[in-house]
């Protein structure tokens, strides 16, 4: 349970929280091959963020730098009273000796920020020695891990990339920096980023995917200034970073709010990126043709099942997730399957300034299909909204989190876990994005439906 203030300034609890705190964005560092977080926070902070975001959320694991590996000051009453700067300095020295990494990122937690520990001053001693280390103030009261993510990306860009990157003014035509899903928050992020990179490379681009197995790690970040442009592939996350890079390196950016799922959206996505980049479209069109041939081959076989069982399958649905997956899945279910959207619920506390634009995307899911969208963080309210909806004579399918399982049972419906927390799915490299991911999502949706699993 978390605490926040409502529009009237009153403090209220949030039931069944849907994200971590700003410090939870340490997983964004863990997601960069060769990077190591160092945390200046209380005992248990890192463990709690890992167990909620990295473990009981697809059981993703911690990798080389996450989980039990992440160095922490583990601040006690002594650091609260006398400050923890000295202890942090000692931890950094020890980490440099013991933990091999290409980049170290020091994160300030609630205790350090509240008592006024100047971690920037501590880190600067090491920066003056040309040690690849940066810092970010990510106290939990700054916001959730979406907010922390962009604090961290900006810190790496300003303190590491800007210092160590070479030939920053040289731009390489066809090279793209991609800013999209929040690593670990979405348990499918690894497979999704791999598919996004595969699609863009197939269309003729060179891609800085920046996070995950498909990234070249820290050295890839050093080529950020050389990209022709930045691609923000989400309704809002990444826009702040792209705006910063536009000012810093005079890089334009393309904002595509819809993460592409299925042939129709992928083709539209590729063509929009190719047009923006002003490159020859022959390679892209050949790639689309090849991929669609395979995609529709499988879909053709699937139609035998769909035409036979359509009478027993869900006709209506609701998505309860962060804004990126919510919009993407809605576009796919409406345009590819012809399902009927009910109220859609966005849970990532998207900044107020983006909400109107996000809501407008739901007014045009298809030529004659729209959906109402609500921005809700509290699990009790989510359940209330879902239960008050009219789904017709067939049970609905709810694409949400573990928290929606009981609600789906009350509705005699079905649940597919696609959002944090995903505690009844083991996710290794699954994707629900692109051509490959769309087929996987179809398999999951209808396996759940015919098995009567909820």
Based on the fold, state whether residues 188 and 227 are members of the same structural domain.
yes
Residues 221 and 191 in one domain: yes
Q: Is residue 287 part of a domain?
A: no
191 and 148 part of one domain: no
What's the confidence (pLDDT) of residue 217? 97
Q: Is 38 left (phi over 0), alpha (psi -120 to 50) or beta?
A: beta
Instruction: Identify whether residues 303 and 439 lie together within a single domain.
Output: yes
Q: Residue 311: is its pLDDT beyond 80?
A: no
Residues 150 and 253 in one domain: no
At residue 10 the predicted structure's pLDDT band, cuts being 50, 70 and 90, is: very low
Q: Is residue 255 part of a domain?
A: yes
Overall domain count for the chain: 3
Q: Considering only CA atoms, which of 276, 274, 287 is closest in space to residue 253?
A: 276
Inter-residue contact 19 to 349 (CB < 8 Å): yes
Q: What are phi and psi for residue 432, nearest 5 degrees?
A: -115, 15
Q: Specify the pLDDT at position 115.
A: 87
Alpha-carbon span 164 to 62, nearest angstrom? 28
284 found inside a domain: no
Specify if 49 maps to a domain.
yes
* 2-24 burial: b if 16+ Cβ within 10 Å, else e: bebeeeeeeeeebebbbbbbbbb
Determine how β-strand 414-417 pairs with β-strand 373-375.
unpaired
Q: Look at residue 278 in the predicted model and tell me its pLDDT.
A: 96
Q: What is the pLDDT of residues 330-369, one digit of tens each?
A: 999 999 999 999 999 999 999 999 999 999 999 999 989 9
Q: Which of 229, 244, 277 is the last residue of a domain?
A: 277
Same domain, 8 and 124: yes
For residue 148, the enclosing domain spans 2-164
pLDDT of residue 140: 87
Q: 283 in a domain, yes or no? A: no
Residue 286 belongs to some domain of the structure:
no
Structure tokens at 448: 């759940």
- In this structure, is residue 90 part of a structural domain? yes
Max Cα-Cα span within the chain: 71
Same domain (yes/no): 76, 206: no
CATH, residue 61:
3.40.50.1980
Beta carbons of 154 and 123 less than 8 angstroms apart: no
How far apart are the C-alpha atoms of 210 and 190, rounded to whole Å? 11
Q: Using an 8 Å Cβ cutoff, are 444 and 414 in contact?
A: no
- Domain for residue 115, yes or no? yes
Which residue, among 327, 275, 317, 306, has the nearest Cα to 433 in the 3D structure? 327
CA–CA separation, 327 and 325 (whole Å): 6
Q: Would you say 211 and 177 are in contact if contact means Cβ atoms under 8 Å apart?
A: no
Q: Are residues 350 and 202 in the same domain?
A: no
DSSP state of 163: H
Residues 434 and 379 in one domain: yes
Render 419-434 in DSSP notation, one character per residue: SS---S---SS---SH
Instruction: Please indicate, yes or no, whether residues 19 and 135 belong to a single structural domain of this protein.
Output: yes
Q: Can you give the pLDDT at residue 254?
A: 98
Same domain, 154 and 207: no
Task: Pick the range with the lowest mean pLDDT from 153-167, 243-257, 305-319.
Answer: 305-319
Cβ neighbours for 300, distance < 8 A, ≥ 6 positions apart: none
**Tens digit of pLDDT for each residue in 77-91?**
877 767 789 999 999
Degrees (nearest 5) of the Cα angle 391, 305, 452?
50
Q: Are residues 105 and 233 in the same domain?
A: no
């Amino acid at each position: 349970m978390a605490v926040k203030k409502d529009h009237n300034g009153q403090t209220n609890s949030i039931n069944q929280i849907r994200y971590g705190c700003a410090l939870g964005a340490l997983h964004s560092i863990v997601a960069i091959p060769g990077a190591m977080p160092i945390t200046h926070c209380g005992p248990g902070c890192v463990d709690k963020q890992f167990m909620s975001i990295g473990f009981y959320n697809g059981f993703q694991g911690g990798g080389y730098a996450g989980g039990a590996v992440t160095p922490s000051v583990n601040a006690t009453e002594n650091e609260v009273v006398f400050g923890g700067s000295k202890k942090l300095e000692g931890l950094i020295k020890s980490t440099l000796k013991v933990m091999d990494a290409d980049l170290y990122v020091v994160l300030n937690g609630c205790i350090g920020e509240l008592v006024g520990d100047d971690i920037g001053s501590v880190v600067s001693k090491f920066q003056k020695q040309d040690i690849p280390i940066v810092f970010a103030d990510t106290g939990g009261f700054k916001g959730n891990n979406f907010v922390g993510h962009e604090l961290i990306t900006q810190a790496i860009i300003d303190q590491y990339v800007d210092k160590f990157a070479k030939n920053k003014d040289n731009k390489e035509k066809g090279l793209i920096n991609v800013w999209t899903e929040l690593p670990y928050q979405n348990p499918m992020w690894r497979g999704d980023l791999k598919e996004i990179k595969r699609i863009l490379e197939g269309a003729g681009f060179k891609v800085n995917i920046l996070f995950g197995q498909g990234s070249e790690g820290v050295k890839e970040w050093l080529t950020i200034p050389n990209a022709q442009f930045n691609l923000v592939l989400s309704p809002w996350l990444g826009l702040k970073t792209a705006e910063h890079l536009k000012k810093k390196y005079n890089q334009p950016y393309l904002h595509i709010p819809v993460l592409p799922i299925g042939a129709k959206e992928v083709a539209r996505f590729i063509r929009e990126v190719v047009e923006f980049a002003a490159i020859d479209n022959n390679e892209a069109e050949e790639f689309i043709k090849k991929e669609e041939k395979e995609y529709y081959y499988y879909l053709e076989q699937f139609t035998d099942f769909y035409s036979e069982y359509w009478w027993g399958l869900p006709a209506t649905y609701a998505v309860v997730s962060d804004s990126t997956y919510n919009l993407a899945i809605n576009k796919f279910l409406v345009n590819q399957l012809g399902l009927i959207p009910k109220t859609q619920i966005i849970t990532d506390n998207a900044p107020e300034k983006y909400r109107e634009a996000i809501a407008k995307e739901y007014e045009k899911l298809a030529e004659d299909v729209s959906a109402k969208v609500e921005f809700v963080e509290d699990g009790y309210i989510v359940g209330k909204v879902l239960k008050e909806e009219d789904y017709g004579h067939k049970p609905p399918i709810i694409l949400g989190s573990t928290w929606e399982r009981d609600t789906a049972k009350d509705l005699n419906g079905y649940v597919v876990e696609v959002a944090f927390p995903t505690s009844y799915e083991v996710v290794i490299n699954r994707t629900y994005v692109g051509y490959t991911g769309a087929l996987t999502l179809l398999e999951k949706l209808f396996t759940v439906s015919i098995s009567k699993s909820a």
